Amino acid sequence: MTERDDEKVLSLLRAAVPPLKDPGLKRDLWPAMLRKLDEQPIRVSWLDWALVAFVAAWLFVFPEVIPAVLYQL
């Protein structure tokens, strides 16, 4: 592409996408995010507990795989 083509593409883009009138935020979003994180309690589903129990039982039955599992971590 030549410089003339670049200018043409740039002018077409400027015409297609109007500039934003007010690009700034109206307020700070971080305090609202912290409040939302504090409101939600940590919930663990039954499937997670079942997987933990399965892995614990598997390691109890096959203790020789513990070094291999630790190596993968």
Each residue of 10-67: pLDDT tens digit? 999 988 988 888 777 788 889 988 998 888 788 889 999 999 999 999 999 999 999 9
d(CA 73, CA 64) in angstroms, rounded, equals 16
Q: What is the rounded distance in angstroms from the CA atom of residue 17 to the CA atom of residue 15? A: 6
The four Cα atoms 16, 22, 23, 26 give a dihedral, to 10 degrees, of -150
Residue 66: which residues within 8 A CB-CB, separation 6 or more? 59
What's CA 48's distance to the chain center, in Å? 20
pLDDT of residue 2: 80
pLDDT at 1: 65
Give the global pTM.
Answer: 0.43
Contact in structure between 69 and 59 (CB atoms under 8 Å): yes
